[in-house]
Structure 1
């Protein structure tokens, strides 16, 4: 067991009693260390230490502000330590749906849509007058780091679409998961779907919680999109779809650059696929 693992387990033990690290559940990108802990009585928790201060604060505040109404369907924050950037969470029952036999089940996507709607409604929607301008600034920062990585056509289209967005009335934003996909969904042994990893949760347009699915599970399975929307209880308007295309263009460009910076060629290729799909036609 590494020194870091030992320090995390020791700090968590002050809260929940003696416990051991039983699994390292971290993703390869290195932005967080995620450990499964087990106490002598068999109880289990998740300990998550987050590399960047901004990301830690965002996730901590998401649990403090928005998780309670979803009790039992997202992890419970047991303890947080700002010095270590540590979150101690309950461990929910179930297996990851990523790679699971039910990953492409319409019922799973229906449940995910319904749970997404519950998340979006934990706080009232708010108009965000800075939404377009903020996205444009982020895009300009990403492009400044792109160094020729992104096709010129993609840069031109995205910049033009974002400048048009700035001129439109401000969209409403709601609490969004923003990494809404089967690798952050669990399914238990009776088929109940739950969400994990609130690391990217913040206010955004509601369709932000569709974009990862749009470019992955739903590409060849439009029935899953229909099931999700049925569970969500809302269909996108023409204005929603126009905004979604702009959002997806920015997300694709950002994905390409982020993945390149983190030496993740598979994710970079995924970003290029996303951008090609956006440029090919409407969302």
Structure 2
């Protein structure tokens, strides 16, 4: 998706901010534009492809994102017919642009833990068995899709179904969850601290799912950053650690299927390797 004079993202930005300049950024998906106005203020204009995802992100900004203990974009405007959002730019450098040995990394992870703790504490609901059963059904569906696509062996499918059975028996706390909480959605400034972006997946879900991607994708090779995060968030109990392990099966199955369906080999390989490690 390229910008044109009739691009709804540009039209929405001009209504709010006047004439704007587009700043090409190869790190961004094509549906997102980075813009500045005449005063140098930064914006991101984002066009969704699915009405449900557009509505979900609107709900996130209206109801939940402000509970994070971090800076978040402000929703400046939206246009329902074109599924377009205009968001303010947050301060800081994308954390993925910083090396893992950067001296601020422990501070970043501790701040990320504290920010997520604030969100979950503000939106927490009591443990319920219904949530575990819902997640078990979802995991079974992902496992079957993976197997039907030839991505898993019979043993791997059985393992995923067993993990789903464990989830079905679990009583899980729910909270508003970011559901893609990882460094690619964090920005950092030594002066202003942590900022968190991308709320299109945000919805009430099992609280521990917000830790699963970090737990399985980022922390195996960086335990010092895991420890820093837990200083901010709190250390999982033995029972919560077991649930995080089970959520690894969910993470593996979704990565396998999405990597296959989108042609993302890196994501597919991550799912394959994680599944092998869990089994």
SS in 2 for 1:20: strand
Structure showing the higher helix proportion among its residues: 2
SS of residue in 2 equivalent to 1:228: helix
Displacement after TM superposition at 1:24 (Å): 4.2
CA distance in 2, matches of 1:133, 1:70: 27
Q: How many residues align?
A: 274
Q: Is the 8 A contact 1:154 1:253 kept in 2?
A: no
Per the alignment, in what secondary structure is the counterpart of residue 246 of structure 2? Answer: helix
| Mapping 1:143-222, distance limit 5 Å | 143-146=143-146, 147-168=149-170, 170-190=171-191, 192-222=193-223
Q: Is the 8 A contact 2:140 2:160 kept in 1?
A: no
Query: What whole-Å deviation, never above 9, does each CA across 1:162-181 have from its counterpart, x for those lacking one?
Result: 1232234x311111111111
- Could you tell me which runs of 5 or more consecutive residues in structure 1 were left unpaired when the two chains were aligned: none
State the match for 1:11 in structure 2.
12
SS of aligned partner of 1:23: coil
Q: How does 1:31-46 map to 2 (within 5 A)?
A: 33-46=31-44
Report if aligned partners of 2:12, 2:78 keep a CA contact under 8 Å in 1: no
Q: Which moved more, 1:1-10 or 1:82-91?
A: 1-10
SS state at 1:272 partner: helix
Offset of 1:191 from its aligned partner? 6.5
The equivalent of 2:238 in structure 1 is 238
TM-score (norm 1): 0.88
1:88-127: CA deviation from partner (whole Å, max 9, x where unpaired) = 1110111100031338721111111111111212323244
Given that 1:9 and 1:20 are in contact with CA atoms closer than 8 Å, whether structure 2 keeps it comes out as no
User: Residue in 1 aligned with 2:110?
Assistant: 110
* Alignment-derived partner of residue 253 in structure 2: 253
Contact kept? 1:154, 1:249, Cα under 8 Å: no
Q: Contact between 2:216 and 2:248, CA under 8 Å: does it hold in 1?
A: no
Per-residue CA deviation, residues 184-207 of structure 1 (Å, 9 max, x unaligned), is: 110125371211111211122222
Give the gaps of 5 or more residues in structure 2. Answer: none
Q: Quick check: 2:71–2:195 contact (8 Å CA) kept in 1?
A: yes
Equivalent residue number for residue 275 of structure 1? 275
- Taking a change above 3 Å as real, the CA distance of residues 70 and 239 of structure 1, as seen in their structure-2 partners, is closer
Question: Normalising by structure 2, what TM-score?
Answer: 0.89
Contact 1:26 1:34 survives alignment (8 Å): no
Quick one: distance in 2 between partners of 1:269 and 1:192? 33
